[in-house]
């Protein structure tokens, strides 16, 4: 594939010998072997030229730019400007100081291309496996949960009736059809009522490891999809070894989900739900309390994504783009956590 290549420049010599303290980005480059990522991206991306016929930028460079955006909460125009004047960004992406940098349109097209190719989840897996080999990520168990992500577009009207966020509402398709809103710009989003507040958007279903809280996997559905129905997919995507524990709140409590864990030879850490008209036993209460102390690690991950990375509301429109946004955030989140653990 024809890509932009840089030669040795005088400016690069002075940049290399400029005395600067190592930054977080230098630690990322030292921690991760980028060659497998680069080879994977070159195999998947066949583009040889950009929109105006110039040789395409190296895909690894473009991928690193997407990570920079999430670490520093930068828009496409913002990261374009930062690449022009921040030396740490130049070193991280391995641009020459005299090179042209991708403009905002090029960055946007590259991100949309990765989403269209459906490779971002595979990139997350590749990075996670590297962290496993270094002993930073331990898959001794997984904590599962779901969280509402508001749509980037606010609906122009408010419906009078909307579904409650009840896990036992397994009739997802009927619910989606009944409460579908067609007068918003984001037609794939849906209404949900949670703690007496109405939300219009999506639901993030994700799993973290139960030891340090690395994000193992996740996907996006319209907000009115039940948590229970996404349990099997999360367990499959988490890639847990036999005998690993799966921790989840009472929203995932069902005979079907317990059977899934039994068939996969995984330990059941699902909280017990109070039977209708009955009570939990003291043993069940104690078990729930013990599980809650472990599974709160996934709630902390959601809190970081929302407060630290502004993922309380999606940046883009459409389920595929919101899911792609999550996978980029998950990679940024995991790499930052790995650097902190590697320092210890």
**Rounded CA gap, 113 and 90, in Å?**
23
pLDDT band at 184 (very low <50, low <70, confident <90, very high): low
| Nearest of 210, 215, 208 to residue 335 by alpha carbon | 215
DSSP 270-338: EPP-PPTT----HHHHHHHHHHHHHHHHHHHHHHHHHHTS-TTB-SSSSHHHHHHHHHHHHHHHHHHHH
pLDDT exceeds cutoff 60 at 1: no
Place of tokens 């990322």: 28
How many whole angstroms separate alpha carbon 152 and alpha carbon 138? 34
pLDDT at residue 344, as a whole number? 79
The pLDDT tens digits for 197-227 are 889 999 999 999 999 999 999 999 999 999 9
pTM, rounded to two decimals: 0.87
Which of 176-185, 259-268, 303-312 is least confident?
A: 176-185
Residues 330-339 pLDDT 10s: 999 999 999 9
Q: Per residue in 10-67, pLDDT tens?
A: 555 556 666 567 789 999 999 999 999 999 999 998 766 555 566 789 999 999 999 9
Instruction: Find where tokens 């459906």 sit.
Output: 118
Pairing mode of beta strands 190-194, 215-222: unpaired
């Amino acid at each position: 594939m024809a890509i932009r290549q840089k030669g040795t420049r005088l400016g690069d010599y002075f940049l290399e010998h400029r005395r600067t303290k190592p930054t977080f980005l230098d630690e990322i480059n030292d921690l991760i072997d980028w060659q497998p990522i680069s080879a994977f991206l070159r195999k998947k991306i066949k583009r040889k030229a950009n929109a105006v016929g110039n040789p395409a930028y190296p895909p690894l460079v473009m991928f690193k730019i997407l990570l920079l955006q999430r670490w520093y909460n930068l828009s496409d125009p913002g990261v374009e400007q930062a690449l022009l004047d921040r030396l740490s960004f130049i070193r991280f992406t391995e641009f020459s100081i005299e090179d042209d940098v991708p403009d905002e349109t090029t960055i946007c097209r590259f991100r949309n291309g990765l989403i269209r190719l459906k490779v971002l989840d595979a990139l997350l897996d590749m990075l996670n496996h590297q962290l496993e080999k270094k002993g930073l990520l331990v898959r001794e168990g997984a904590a599962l949960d779901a969280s509402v992500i508001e749509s980037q577009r606010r609906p122009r009207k408010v419906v009078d009736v909307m579904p409650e966020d009840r896990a036992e509402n397994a009739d997802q398709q009927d619910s989606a059809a009944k409460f579908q809103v067609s007068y918003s710009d984001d037609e794939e989003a849906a209404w949900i009522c949670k703690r007496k507040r109405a939300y219009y958007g999506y639901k993030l279903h994700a799993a973290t490891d139960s030891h340090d809280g690395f994000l193992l996997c996740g996907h996006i559905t319209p907000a009115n999809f039940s948590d229970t129905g996404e349990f099997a997919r999360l367990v499959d995507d988490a890639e847990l070894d036999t005998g690993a524990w799966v921790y989840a709140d009472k929203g995932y409590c069902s005979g079907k989900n317990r059977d899934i864990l039994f068939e996969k030879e995984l330990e059941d850490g699902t909280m017990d739900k109070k039977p209708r008209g009955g009570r939990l036993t003291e043993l069940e209460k104690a078990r729930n309390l013990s599980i809650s102390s472990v599974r709160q690690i996934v709630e902390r991950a959601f809190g970081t994504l929302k407060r630290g990375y502004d993922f309380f509301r999606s940046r883009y429109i459409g389920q595929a783009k919101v899911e792609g946004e999550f996978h980029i955030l998950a990679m940024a989140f995991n790499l930052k956590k790995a650097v902190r653990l590697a320092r210890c």
